[in-house]
């Protein structure tokens, strides 16, 4: 059965990495779903590799904090991926906040994000494009990592990957310097940037206009790294000396976080990728254990 027969399109909801996304209803079960349509051009050699990768990875990822791939429909001109439907993404949620957010919701959103990310890393999957638009929120407050079009399976030995990954504002210094030998630390930097953005009710931490501006914003807050604290930094393919800055004040950059929240954020935002905290370790941090909140569901 093709997508048109099986699903009734209700409205267009956005554009993904490589396709248009629609809200739709299953004509048989009446469940609301999201359809990601990928148009297949005649000149192309079959299905885009990003779509094939997303399908392969999502078929092995089964976790409440990762969007579920329900079905794949394919004909000569179109490939349709059918996902569970979520009402909004984190970016749209920010737009509804009017500049303030409760601390228990900050904890819940970030805890769920890390739960999904730790599972991806356990399954040897790098997301490589974490940003608010790729983090969905269901109507009951459940966070779902989505858009795995840039994701990659990883393993040993370390392989060279593309440096053309991760939206600029969430890209770590090592990748900004052209590193192609990266691991789960790439996602952990992005997660830290999103953590700060959640706590700031939608204000990005490092909204750079280009790579040079992005790096300058990073070192203004973190301080300029040296070869002593980041061995091999000056050997990276696109390394350029940075302006000299002393570390800034995280309490000013993210004023709503308490001391344990700032300490956790600082453990994600470390220029040397080898020193960044993992998602699994972060879930055990005092920031999450010092309160009795239900971290799995926020009342949004």
Q: Is 129 annotated in the active site?
A: yes
Task: Specify the residue for token string 């204000």.
Answer: 203
Q: What is the 3-state secondary structure (H, E, C) of the chain?
A: CCHHHHEEEEEEEEECCCCEEEEEEECCCCCEEEEEEEECCCCCCCCCHHHHHHHHHHHHCCCCCECCEEEEEECCCEEEEEEECCCEEHHHHHHCCCCCCCHHHHHHHHHHHHHHHHHHHHCCEECCCCCHHHEEECCCCCEEECCCCCCEECCCCCCCCCCCCCCHHHCCHHHHCCCCCCCCHHHHHHHHHHHHHHHCCCCCCCCCCCHHHHHHHHHHHHCCCCCCCCCCHHHCCCCCCCCCCCCCCHHHHCCCCCHHHHHHHHHHCCCCHHHCCCHHHHCCCHHHHCCCCCCCCCCC
Residue 26 to residue 33: CA distance in whole angstroms: 7
Of the candidates 129, 147, 174, 187, the residue annotated as catalytic is 129
Give backbone dihedrals phi and psi of 69, rounded to 5 degrees, phi first: -85, 115
Annotated binding residue 59? no
Task: State both tokens at 220.
Answer: 């203004």
Burial of 32 from C-beta contacts in 10 A (0-12 / 13-18 / 19+): middle
Q: Which residues fall in the annotated binding site for ATP?
A: 36
Give catalytic residues, as residue numbers.
129
């Amino acid at each position: 059965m093709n997508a048109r027969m099986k699903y009734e399109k209700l409205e267009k909801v956005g554009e993904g990495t490589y396709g248009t996304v629609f809200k739709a209803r299953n004509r048989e079960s009446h469940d609301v779903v999201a359809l990601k349509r990928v148009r297949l051009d005649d000149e192309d050699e079959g299905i885009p590799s990003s779509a094939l990768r997303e399908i392969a990875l999502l078929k092995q990822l089964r976790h409440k904090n990762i969007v579920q791939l329900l079905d794949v429909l394919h004909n000569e001109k179109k490939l349709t991926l059918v996902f569970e439907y979520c009402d909004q993404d984190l970016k749209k949620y920010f737009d509804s906040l009017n500049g303030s957010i409760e601390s228990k919701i900050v904890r819940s959103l970030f805890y769920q994000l890390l739960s999904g990310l730790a599972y991806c890393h356990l399954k040897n999957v790098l997301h490589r494009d974490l940003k608010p638009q790729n983090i969905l929120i269901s109507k009951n407050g459940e966070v779902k990592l989505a858009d795995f079009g840039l994701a990659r399976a990883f393993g040993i030995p370390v392989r060279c990957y593309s440096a053309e990954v991760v939206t600029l504002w969430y890209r770590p210094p090592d990748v900004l310097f052209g590193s192609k030998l990266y691991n789960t630390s790439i996602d952990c930097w992005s997660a830290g940037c999103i953590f700060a953005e959640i706590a700031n009710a939608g204000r990005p931490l490092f909204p750079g206009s280009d790579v040079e501006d992005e790096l300058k914003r990073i070192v203004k807050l973190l301080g300029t790294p040296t070869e002593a604290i980041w061995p091999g930094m000056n050997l990276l393919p696109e390394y350029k000396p940075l302006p000299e800055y002393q570390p800034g004040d995280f309490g000013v950059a993210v004023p709503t976080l308490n001391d344990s929240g700032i300490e956790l954020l600082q453990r994600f935002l470390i220029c040397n990728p080898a020193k960044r905290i993992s998602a699994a370790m972060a879930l055990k941090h005092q920031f999450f254990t010092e309160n009795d909140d239900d971290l799995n569901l926020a009342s949004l």
